[in-house]
């Protein structure tokens, strides 16, 4: 990554998170990062915050970049690649974070010799706590995967999977922050119902979810074991867990992941 020129084709929130991550972790310097977008105000914001050069011309950006991060909305991908995809060719790597757009669709719009990595990050990348899965295209190399992994490791944790698993990743970690926010909100509402001030209940709920996830990651213990550690016979936790089980929380979460995965598959077919 020391000599890479990383160009962000699209300058939305996720692009901003990745720019902040790679610069903050000093993987590359600001002279090695550029972004293009149709919104001049957003480009000015990124330039002011990170000291990077920006472009309103996508073609100008892709001619400069050795690594092109395709970070536009999925519905915009066909138009953007029709405009400048043919300019991306030999020696260039495309890292796509366009949800649901298959690798084959992207490869078909690029010039000869271009390689593709597809990624599915999630919104906690904005807090450098993201979860990302990456998959390699037909001509991508191990070195290309290393480049993509370094990019997403700068904003969280990264796993490498076959592309066929990415819809399930979308259903779990891509949509997962919405499920977790709903749980945090409900947990806080429970605290308010029990008499806690709203701001205190929300802080305690969010910190409890954050701390529990951190404990799981740092200990490597199975969640069932960590659950058992706080669940005493005849105590408060088992009473609460019984209420969750009677409400079918476990099966509801599983169904949410399944339905979101199915929807991701449907959207991917439309983009193809």
DSSP string, 226-238: HHHHT--TTSHHH
Q: What angle do CA 113, 150, 93 make, to 5 degrees?
A: 10
Per-position b or e across 75-101, b if 16+ CB within 10 A of its CB? eebeebbeebbebbeeebbbbbbbbbb
Three-state DSSP class for residue 130: strand
Closest to 35 in 3D by CA, of 217, 49, 143 = 49
Stated pTM of the model = 0.92
pLDDT at residue number 124: 96
Give the contacts of 182 (CB within 8 A, at least 6 positions apart). Answer: none
Look at the domain 174-268 and name its fold. Answer: ProC C-terminal domain-like fold (1.10.3730)
**In a structure prediction context, what are the per-residue pLDDT tens digits for the chain, which is 272 residues long?**
778 999 999 999 999 999 999 999 999 999 999 999 999 999 999 999 999 999 999 999 999 999 999 999 999 999 999 999 999 999 999 999 998 899 999 999 999 999 999 999 999 999 999 999 999 999 999 999 999 999 999 999 999 999 999 999 999 999 999 999 999 999 999 999 999 999 999 999 999 999 999 999 999 999 999 999 999 999 999 999 999 999 999 999 999 999 999 998 888 887 76
pLDDT at residue number 3: 82
**Residue 264 near residue 99 (C-beta atoms within 8 A):** yes
- Tell whether domain 6-166 is in CATH 3.40.50.720: yes
Residue range(s) occupied by CATH 3.40.50.720 in the chain: 6-166
pLDDT at residue number 272: 63
Residue range(s) occupied by CATH 1.10.3730.10 in the chain: 174-268
Please tell me the distance from the alpha carbon of residue 148 to that of residue 125, in angstroms, as a whole number. Answer: 14
Hey, what long-range contacts does 125-130 have (CB within 8 A, 24 or more apart)?
A: 125/14, 125/17, 125/18, 125/21, 125/152, 125/155, 125/156, 126/13, 126/14, 126/16, 126/17, 128/17, 128/20, 128/21, 128/24, 128/154, 128/155, 128/156, 129/155, 129/156, 130/17, 130/155, 130/156, 130/157
pLDDT at residue number 255: 98
**Residue 178 near residue 271 (C-beta atoms within 8 A):** no
Closest to 124 in 3D by CA, of 154, 167, 156, 96 = 156
pLDDT at residue number 267: 82
pLDDT at residue number 161: 98
Q: How far is CA 58 from the centre of its chain?
A: 23
Please tell me the distance from the alpha carbon of residue 117 to that of residue 251, in angstroms, as a whole number. Answer: 33
pLDDT at residue number 65: 97
């Amino acid at each position: 990554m020391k000599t890479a020129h990383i160009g962000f084709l699209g300058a939305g929130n996720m692009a901003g998170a990745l720019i902040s991550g790679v610069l903050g972790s000093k993987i590359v310097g600001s002279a090695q990062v550029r972004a293009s977008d149709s919104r001049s105000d957003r480009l000015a914001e990124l330039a002011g915050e990170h000291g990077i050069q920006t472009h309103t011309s996508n073609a100008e950006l892709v001619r400069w970049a050795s690594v092109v991060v395709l970070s536009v909305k999925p519905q915009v991908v066909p138009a953007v690649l029709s405009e400048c995809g043919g300019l991306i060719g030999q020696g260039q790597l495309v890292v796509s974070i366009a949800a649901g757009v298959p690798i084959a669709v992207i490869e078909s719009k690029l010039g000869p010799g271009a390689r593709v990595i597809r990624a599915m990050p999630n919104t906690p990348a904005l807090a450098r706590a993201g979860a990302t899965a990456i998959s390699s295209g037909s001509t991508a190399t191990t070195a290309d995967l290393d480049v993509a992994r370094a990019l997403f490791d700068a904003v969280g944790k990264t796993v490498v999977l076959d592309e066929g698993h990415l819809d399930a990743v979308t259903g779990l970690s891509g949509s997962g922050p919405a499920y977790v926010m709903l749980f945090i909100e409900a947990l806080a509402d429970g605290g308010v119902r029990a008499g806690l001030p709203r701001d205190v209940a929300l802080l305690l709920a969010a910190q409890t979810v954050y701390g529990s996830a951190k404990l799981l990651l740092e200990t490597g213990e199975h969640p069932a074991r960590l659950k058992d550690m706080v669940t005493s016979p005849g105590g408060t936790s088992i009473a609460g867990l019984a209420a969750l089980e009677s409400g079918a929380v476990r099966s509801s979460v599983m169904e949410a992941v399944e339905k979101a995965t199915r929807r991701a598959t449907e959207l991917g077919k439309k983009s193809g």
